[in-house]
C-alpha cells in the first residue's frame, strides 16, 4: 500500500514536472513567437550607423567647427587600452567571453532583486544585463524598465551573438554607449572629461569612465562627482578581485583625486561665421547632417583665417580706444570692509568669480571684477580665480567717452577710471613682467562692428571670412548679410563704365561746386568733397586716387546713369537698389551691397576682367570617405576659349545681396549628391570663368587703382613694400560706412567697418582710418611668400605723353609731359611741332553744370 502510494506520488511529480517543462517550453515558444517580430534583425548590428556629428575643416586640415548633439569618435578595439576593457568586463560582464548573450548565473542571482524592485519600487531595477543586452538596449530600445523590454533585450542578445563575434560586440559597445555630457563612446568620453585620447589615460581615469555608463547623466564626474568617485572605486575593487590589477595599483588609483572637467573639442582654427555659412548650404541637402558623419573640406586657409580674425579685432579695438572709455559693463555690490578681512575676503572673491560666469569672453578680452583700487594700481580677479594688477599706464587711454567726436581728459589716477565692484574687460599686453607673468591693460568690448572677406580672384575660393567682432556676441554675418552703402569704393566701377564709353584716364573734369534744383526738395542740393576743397580742372586718374566726389558726379552726368548701371552688372552687382542719379557716382543714396559683392567685383580688376563666384565648400564626404560633392566653380583660364556670361548655367550666377552663392551651392550640392550617392562623385573640370569686361579696361583700372596706393588715399599700404597693390578706400557722406577694397598678387580682400545701427563713425573716420589698417594687417600675412603679379600690357593699349595739367597730348620731348595709357581707339592725337598748348586756366574741362 505504501509502495503503491509512493509510486503514484512519484508519477504525479513526474507528470507535473513534465507538464511544467512543457508549459515552460510552450510559454517560451509563445514569447518567442510574440516578441521575435518586435525585435530588430541581428544583421542590422553589423552595419550600425553611429551618430557622428558634422565636422568642417580648413583646406589644410584644421578643424573649423563641429555640429551635432552627439560627440562620437569611433575607435577600433586595438585602440582601446586593455585596462579599460578589463574595467568594463570585470564590472559589467565578467563572463562575457563565456556566455551566449545571456548570463544565466547572474540572471538567477539577480531574479530576486528584479522582483523586489518590482514589488517595492513599482519598476524594474537594472537586472542582470550583459554587455550584449546593454548594446541591444542602447541601439534598439528605449530606457523604460519593463519585463517586455527585458525579454526583448534577451532575445535580441541571443540573435546578436549568432551574428557578431565577441570582439565585434565589445567594439560596438565601447563606441556607442553613452557617457553623459553628449559624449557617446569611450574615446569621445576621454576627450570630453580629460581632454586627451583614451590611450593616454591612467588607471584611475579609465576606471572613472568605465563606471559612468550605469548612470550617464547623474553619475558622471561633473554632475555627480561623489557618486562617480564611489562607482570608480567599485570598478577598481572588481578589477582587483578579478586579478586585473595589483594591490598597489588598486590602492594608488582609489586614492587619486577626481581630475575630470569639461573639455570641448578644440577648434583648431575658429571661423564660426564661415562654418555657419557652410552649415546653411548643406542643411537642406542632407537631412541627417548632424548625425551622418559628414566631413566638409573648405577653402579657408587656417593661417589667413587667424590673421583675419586678429586683424579685425585689433582694428576695432583701436577704433574704440580713439573714441574713449564708456565705463564698466556692470557694478557688483562688494562690501569694501569685508575685502580687508582675510576670511570674508575669500567669500567675496568666490562671489565675484561666480558672477563672472555670466560674462562670456568678448573676442580675446577677459571679463574681470575690480576688488581693490589704490593710488597707483588696482587689483582684479578673473574667471579662473587668478588675480590681475593694473597700473596707471594700463588705463591712461581711458579718457571718458562724451560723444563720437569728443573725449574727456586723460585720467590722472586709477580711481578716476575704476571702482571696487566694476565688471570690466582686460586684455594681455603680450609682454611678460620680470617675474615671467603676463601684464594686462584695461580694455572694452567695441560697439563698432567690422567684417573681412578674402578670396582668390582667379578661382573664387574664400581664403578667410570674419563676419563680426565676435560671433558669439553677434551672429549676424556682415560679409554676407550686411547690405550697406559702398561709398567711394564704388567709384572704380563708374570710371570703368566711363572708359568703356570713350572717357580716358587723361580726360579732364571740373572739380567745382555743383547745384541741383529739385522740386521735390525744400532746398537746393549742393554736393561737395570730403575736404570741402575744390581743385578746378582735374584728370580722371587724379580724381580717382584723390577720391574727388564732384568729378565722379560729373563723369556720371557725362556718361549717364543708364549705361553705367548696365555696365556695372558685369561685375556681379544686382542694380535693383541702385539710384539713377548722382548718388550712384559716390556709392550713396539707396545703394546697398555686401562685402562679398564688393570683393567679387574687385576680383574682376584683380584677375584681368573675369567674373568668378566666391565659394567656401571644396568637398563633402560621407562617414566612409566617399566624395559626395566637389566644387566645380568657374575658374580663370586665360588660355581657354572665353565663355560668354549668358552661356553659364543659371545656378552658377551670384545670388544678389545677402548670402552670395548660397542658393547656387545648395542646388549644385543637391544635384551632385543625387547623381553620385553612394558611389564616389565623379571629378569634373571647372568651367572657365566668363570674361565680363575688356582686358584693356581691366588693365587701365588696375593701373589707376595702383595709383591710389602710390599717391592717393591708400598710401598707408606702402608699408607692405610691394608694387602690385591696388585698391580703393570708401567712406559714405555721413561716415556710417567705411571700406577698403583691394588686392595684390592672387589675393583680393574687402574690409568694412561701421555700426550695426547706421550711426556715424565720427568726423575723423574714413576708409583710410580703420578699414585700411585692418587690410594692411591681414595682407601682410596673406601676401607673405607670394610673388608680385603685374599683368602685361594687352594689345590695343597705347602709351602717350600728356600734359600733367591739361591732359592733352604733348610732343614726346615736352618736359611737362607725363606718360598715360589709352585705349588705341580713344587715344588723343599729339600736336604738331609748331602747335602751342593752352595754359591750364584756358583748358575747356568737361563741365555740364
Asked if residues 167 and 64 have their Cβ atoms less than 8 Å apart, the reply is no
Checking DSSP bridges between strand 183-184 and strand 71-72, what pairing results, if any?
parallel
**Burial class of residue 296 (count of CB atoms within 10 Å of its CB; 0-12, 13-18, 19+):** buried
Distance CA 581, CA 588 (A): 10
Write the pLDDT tens digit of every residue in 454-490: 999 999 999 999 999 999 888 899 999 999 999 999 9
CA–CA gap between residue 614 and residue 653 (Å, rounded): 10
Model pLDDT for residues 69-81, shown as the tens digit of each residue:
767 788 899 999 9
For residues 35 and 571, what is the distance between their CA atoms, to the nearest angstrom?
Answer: 67
Q: What is the pLDDT of residue 333?
A: 81
pLDDT tens, residue by residue, 775-810: 999 999 999 999 999 999 999 999 999 988 888 988
The rounded distance, in Å, linking the Cα atoms of 297 and 552 is 43
Give the model confidence (pLDDT) of 639-653 as tens digits: 874 444 444 433 333
pLDDT at 686 over 60: yes
Whether residue 156 contacts residue 42, with contact meaning beta carbons closer than 8 Å, is answered with yes
Q: What DSSP string runs through 456-485? A: -TTT-BEEEEE-SS-TTT----HHHH--B-
Q: pLDDT tens, 706-741?
A: 999 999 999 999 999 999 999 999 999 888 999 999
| Summary mean pLDDT of the chain | 83
Threshold 0.85, pTM exceeds: no
Predicted local distance difference test score (pLDDT) of residue 47: 61
Give me the helices (H) in 58-130, please.
82-92, 104-116
Give the residue with greater pLDDT, 118 vs 191: 191
Active site residues: 92, 488
Mean pLDDT of 561-569: 96
Percent of the chain topping pLDDT 70: 78
Q: Distance between CA atoms of 201 and 81, rounded to whole angstroms?
A: 9
464 within 8 A of 453, measured Cβ to Cβ: yes
Picking from 750, 745, 746, 777, the residue whose alpha carbon sits closest to that of residue 489 is 750
Report the Cα 551 to chain-centroid distance in Å: 41
Amino acid at each position: 500500500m505504501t509502495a503503491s502510494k509512493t509510486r503514484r506520488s512519484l508519477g504525479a511529480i513526474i507528470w507535473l514536472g513534465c507538464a511544467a517543462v512543457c508549459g515552460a517550453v510552450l510559454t517560451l515558444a509563445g514569447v518567442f513567437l510574440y516578441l521575435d517580430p518586435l525585435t530588430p534583425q541581428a544583421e542590422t548590428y553589423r552595419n550600425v550607423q553611429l551618430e557622428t556629428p558634422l565636422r568642417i575643416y580648413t583646406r589644410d586640415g584644421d578643424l573649423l567647427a563641429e555640429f551635432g548633439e552627439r560627440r562620437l569618435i569611433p575607435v577600433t578595439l586595438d585602440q582601446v587600452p586593455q585596462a579599460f576593457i578589463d574595467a568594463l568586463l570585470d564590472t559589467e560582464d565578467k563572463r562575457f567571453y563565456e556566455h551566449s548573450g545571456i548570463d544565466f548565473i547572474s540572471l538567477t542571482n539577480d531574479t530576486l532583486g528584479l522582483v523586489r524592485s518590482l514589488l517595492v519600487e513599482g519598476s524594474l531595477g537594472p537586472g542582470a544585463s550583459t554587455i550584449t543586452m546593454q548594446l541591444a538596449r542602447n541601439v534598439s530600445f528605449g530606457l523604460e524598465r519593463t519585463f517586455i523590454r527585458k525579454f526583448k533585450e534577451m532575445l535580441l542578445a541571443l540573435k546578436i551573438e549568432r551574428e557578431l563575434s565577441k570582439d565585434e560586440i565589445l567594439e560596438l559597445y565601447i563606441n556607442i554607449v553613452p557617457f553623459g555630457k553628449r559624449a557617446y563612446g569611450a574615446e569621445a568620453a576621454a576627450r570630453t572629461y580629460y581632454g586627451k585620447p583614451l590611450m593616454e589615460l591612467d588607471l584611475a581615469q579609465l576606471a572613472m569612465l568605465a563606471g559612468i555608463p550605469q548612470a550617464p547623466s547623474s553619475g558622471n564626474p561633473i554632475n555627480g562627482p561623489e557618486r562617480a568617485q564611489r562607482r570608480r572605486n567599485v570598478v577598481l575593487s572588481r578589477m582587483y578581485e578579478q586579478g586585473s590589477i595589483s594591490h598597489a595599483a588598486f590602492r594608488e588609483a582609489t586614492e587619486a583625486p577626481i581630475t575630470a572637467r569639461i573639455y570641448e573639442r578644440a577648434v583648431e582654427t575658429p571661423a564660426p561665421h564661415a562654418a555657419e555659412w557652410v552649415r546653411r548650404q548643406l542643411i537642406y541637402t542632407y537631412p541627417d547632417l548632424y548625425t551622418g558623419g559628414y566631413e566638409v573640406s573648405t577653402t579657408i586657409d587656417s593661417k589667413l583665417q587667424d590673421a583675419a580674425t586678429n586683424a579685425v579685432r585689433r582694428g576695432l579695438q583701436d577704433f574704440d580706444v580713439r573714441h574713449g572709455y564708456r565705463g564698466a559693463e556692470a557694478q557688483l555690490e562688494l562690501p569694501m570692509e569685508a575685502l580687508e578681512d582675510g576670511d570674508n575676503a575669500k567669500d567675496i572673491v568666490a562671489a565675484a568669480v561666480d558672477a563672472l560666469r555670466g560674462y562670456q569672453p568678448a573676442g580675446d578680452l577677459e571679463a574681470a571684477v575690480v576688488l581693490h583700487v589704490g593710488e597707483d594700481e588696482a587689483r582684479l580677479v578673473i574667471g579662473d580665480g587668478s588675480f590681475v594688477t593694473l597700473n596707471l599706464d594700463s588705463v591712461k587711454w581711458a579718457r571718458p567717452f562724451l560723444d563720437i567726436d569728443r573725449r574727456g581728459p586723460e585720467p590722472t589716477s586709477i580711481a578716476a577710471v575704476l571702482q571696487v565692484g566694476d565688471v570690466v574687460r582686460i586684455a594681455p599686453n603680450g609682454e611678460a613682467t620680470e617675474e615671467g607673468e603676463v601684464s594686462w591693460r584695461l580694455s572694452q568690448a567695441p560697439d563698432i562692428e567690422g567684417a573681412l572677406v578674402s578670396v582668390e580672384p582667379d578661382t573664387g575660393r574664400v581664403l578667410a571670412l570674419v563676419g563680426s567682432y565676435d560671433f558669439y556676441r553677434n551672429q549676424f554675418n556682415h560679409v554676407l548679410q550686411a547690405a550697406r552703402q559702398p561709398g567711394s569704393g564704388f567709384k572704380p566701377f563708374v570710371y570703368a563704365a566711363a572708359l568703356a564709353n570713350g572717357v580716358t584716364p587723361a580726360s579732364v573734369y571740373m572739380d567745382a561746386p555743383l547745384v541741383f534744383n529739385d522740386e521735390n526738395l525744400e532746398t537746393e542740393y549742393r554736393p561737395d568733397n570730403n575736404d570741402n576743397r575744390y581743385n578746378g580742372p582735374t584728370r580722371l586718374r587724379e580724381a580717382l586716387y584723390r577720391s574727388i566726389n564732384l568729378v565722379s558726379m560729373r563723369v556720371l552726368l557725362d556718361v549717364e546713369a543708364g549705361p553705367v548701371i548696365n555696365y556695372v552688372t558685369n561685375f556681379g552687382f544686382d542694380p535693383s537698389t541702385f539710384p539713377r542719379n548722382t548718388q550712384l557716382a559716390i556709392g550713396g543714396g539707396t545703394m546697398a551691397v555686401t562685402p562679398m559683392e564688393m570683393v567679387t567685383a574687385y576680383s574682376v580688376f584683380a584677375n584681368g576682367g573675369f567674373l568668378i563666384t566666391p565659394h567656401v565648400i571644396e568637398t563633402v564626404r560621407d562617414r566612409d570617405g566617399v566624395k559626395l560633392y566637389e566644387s566645380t566653380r568657374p575658374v580663370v583660364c586665360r588660355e581657354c576659349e572665353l565663355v560668354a556670361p549668358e552661356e553659364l548655367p543659371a545656378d552658377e550666377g551670384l545670388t544678389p545681396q545677402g548670402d552670395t552663392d548660397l542658393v547656387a551651392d545648395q542646388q549644385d550640392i543637391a544635384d551632385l549628391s543625387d547623381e553620385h550617392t553612394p558611389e564616389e562623385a565623379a571629378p569634373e573640370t571647372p568651367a572657365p570663368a566668363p570674361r565680363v569686361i575688356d582686358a584693356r579696361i581691366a588693365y587701365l583700372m588696375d593701373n589707376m587703382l595702383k595709383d591710389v596706393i602710390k599717391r592717393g588715399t591708400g598710401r598707408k599700404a606702402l608699408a607692405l613694400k610691394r608694387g602690385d597693390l591696388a585698391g580703393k578706400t570708401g567712406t559714405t557722406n555721413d561716415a556710417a560706412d567705411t571700406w577698403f577694397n583691394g588686392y595684390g598678387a592672387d589675393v583680393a580682400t574687402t574690409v568694412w567697418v561701421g555700426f550695426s545701427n547706421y550711426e556715424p563713425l565720427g568726423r575723423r573716420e574714413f576708409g583710410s582710418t580703420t578699414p585700411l589698417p585692418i587690410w594692411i594687417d591681414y595682407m601682410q600675412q596673406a601676401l607673405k611668400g607670394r610673388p608680385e603679379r603685374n599683368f602685361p600690357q594687352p594689345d590695343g593699349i597705347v602709351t602717350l605723353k600728356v600734359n600733367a595739367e591739361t591732359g592733352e597730348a604733348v610732343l614726346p620731348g615736352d618736359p611737362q609731359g607725363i606718360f598715360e595709357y589709352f585705349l588705341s581707339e580713344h587715344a588723343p592725337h599729339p600736336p604738331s611741332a609748331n602747335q602751342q598748348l593752352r595754359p591750364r586756366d584756358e583748358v575747356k574741362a568737361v563741365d555740364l553744370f
